[in-house]
Amino acid sequence: MKNTGKGLVATGVALSVLLGAGLSAAAAKTQLTVYTALENEQLRPYKVAFEKANPDVEIVWVRDSTGVITARLLAEKSNPKADVIMGVAVTSLILFENEGMIEPYAVKGADALRPAFRDAKNPPAWIGMDAYMSAVCYNTVEGQKKNIPQPTSWADLLKPVYRGQVVMPNPASSGTGFLSVSGWLQSKGEAEGWKYMDGLHQNIAVYTHSGSAPCVQAARGEYVVGISFEYRASQEKTKGAPIEVILPSEGVGWDLEASAIHKGTKNLEAAKKLLDWTATKEANTLFNNYFGVVAYPGVSKEVPNYPKDAEAKMIKNDFAFSAKNREAILAEWTKRYDGKSAPKAK
């Protein structure tokens, strides 16, 4: 046993030495550890462009879904590993800010960005990159087969024809789900918002745990209508799925992908460089390859299969409202809709 114990430690030491050696090979550059929830396909282009502009810094990504990366950052709070948090929902960043995990920094060139995409405080805690919003995916093939019309508004989804054909993310599991719920509560007012969800609940087939799943399921004909977010929707359509991407006429809830510096980083200068870069027109042009609405005004190239009029459909959004009332909203939502009881067939 003693030997195996030693073996374990020895292996551990050997492995860490190996890893260390791998790291020091590129030691001339500052290694910037960036925790992110950006989509996989965005990582390489962003990294290449940033490193080209800043040859002395190298980005090391740690990428996972918003839920995992947020949980991980909070768990590592007492001994942080991240230098920068980039491309994470601003609602998560506000959570980190309240936990004292953010190093405020006034990004160079932030003044040029749309006001809604920067933190109003001085000095600001975070800087926005692009907006993402609730969207509805409608499967045209299955819709035709089942004679279910394409919805154009949130109100449409209350019609009996959609019973058992709508999927949405469980807001208690998924930030995307919460985006929709908070959007309804803000745009319709609380009383009307809950009334709307009561009605919608009657038509929901499944609340999924993943925010992407409803649109992916609609794309694959599992269900006719999926409430998800616009990026995933346009991606699925680009892949060839027979879906229409709809931003309902009443307006949609949205959130920002934003970045912030982690308090206590040993690479503060490099971290500032990355945040400054996210505010450049060049960077925003890259973001605009995937998202229709980005922080830099005037950067608005058309994204393939991306819904039109996205900017006009974005509701007046109060991030503070979402952050402050999140726990209470989720408790109420869970009480009303979560659990085994399927809606009573009427």
d(CA 16, CA 110): 40
Output the smallest distance, CB 96 to other proteins, in A: 10
Output the smallest distance, CB 336 to other proteins, in A: 10
CA distances from 162 to 203, 225, 226, 237, 253 (A): 6, 8, 11, 21, 22
Which among 335, 290, 284, 331 is positioned nearest to 310, based on CA atoms? Answer: 290
Q: Are strands 254-262 and 84-89 parallel, antiparallel or unpaired?
A: antiparallel
Closer residue to other proteins in complex, CB, 298/339: 339
Maximum Cα–Cα distance across the chain: 71
Output the smallest distance, CB 122 to other proteins, in A: 26
Output the smallest distance, CB 146 to other proteins, in A: 11
Q: Are strands 166-169 and 204-208 parallel, antiparallel or unpaired?
A: parallel
Output the smallest distance, CB 303 to other proteins, in A: 17
Output the smallest distance, CB 169 to other proteins, in A: 9
Closer residue to other proteins in complex, CB, 60/320: 60
Closer residue to other proteins in complex, CB, 113/224: 224
Output the smallest distance, CB 199 to other proteins, in A: 17
Instruction: Report the SS3 class of residue 129.
Output: strand
**Strand residue runs (E) in the chain:** 30-36, 57-63, 84-89, 102-103, 127-139, 166-169, 204-208, 225-229, 243-246, 254-262
Instruction: Note the helical H segments in 54-89.
Output: 66-75
Residues 6+ apart with CB under 8 A from 125: 93, 94, 97, 102, 104, 119, 260
Closer residue to other proteins in complex, CB, 205/261: 205
Closer residue to other proteins in complex, CB, 54/212: 212
Closer residue to other proteins in complex, CB, 100/298: 100
Closer residue to other proteins in complex, CB, 250/338: 338
Residues 6+ apart with CB under 8 A from 31: 23, 58, 60, 267
CB 13: neighbour CB atoms within 10 A? 10
